[in-house]
A = this chain, B = another copy of it.
């Protein structure tokens, strides 16, 4: 998988909108200032976020961006995949470059890891992040994992 500043900035920016959006949409210039992220870089990111339907835009003065869905319907993995365009740890996509028979020896390991990461990131929603941010300094916050006991089962 790929976890870069692109994904990190995207999550930060989405959280920023979720926190500051009220009657008016939030401008990229505002996000840029508050989070110290380059405006042009934000534009690139939001081009993708908009195409994936995560945000909606309003042009002209007083315009900006809004979160396009309910906050608990957007997961961190949604945001990262929107800007990073792949969240895959296998690299041997479909038993391509493993010269022997089919998939490489460690294929199942990476596929399983991939599942773990995705399971976690898709279990944290924008709403969770907002709650966490608001409760900061107020004690302890717990990320709630969806369910328990989901072993990585591999069929040979």
Contact = CB atoms under 8 A, between A and B. Distances in A.
Interface of A: 1, 3, 5, 8, 11-12, 15-16, 35-36, 76, 89, 91, 97, 99, 104-106, 108-110, 112-113, 116-117, 120-121, 124, 129, 132-133, 135-145, 148-149, 151-156
Given A12-B104, A136-B156, A143-B154, 20 more contacts: A1-B3, A3-B113, A5-B91, A8-B106, A8-B110, A11-B109, A12-B105, A15-B106, A35-B105, A36-B97, A108-B132, A109-B143, A112-B143, A116-B117, A140-B156, A141-B154, A141-B156, A143-B151, A144-B151, A145-B151
Tell me what chain A mostly uses at the interface: helix, strand, loop, or mixed. mixed
A71 to B, nearest CB: 15
Contact of A151 (B99, B121, B142, B149): B142
30 contacts: A1-B3, A3-B110, A3-B113, A5-B91, A11-B109, A12-B104, A15-B106, A35-B104, A35-B105, A105-B129, A106-B129, A108-B132, A109-B124, A109-B143, A112-B143, A113-B117, A132-B154, A135-B156, A137-B156, A140-B153, A140-B154, A140-B156, A141-B156, A142-B153, A143-B151, A143-B154, A144-B151, A145-B151, A145-B152, A148-B149
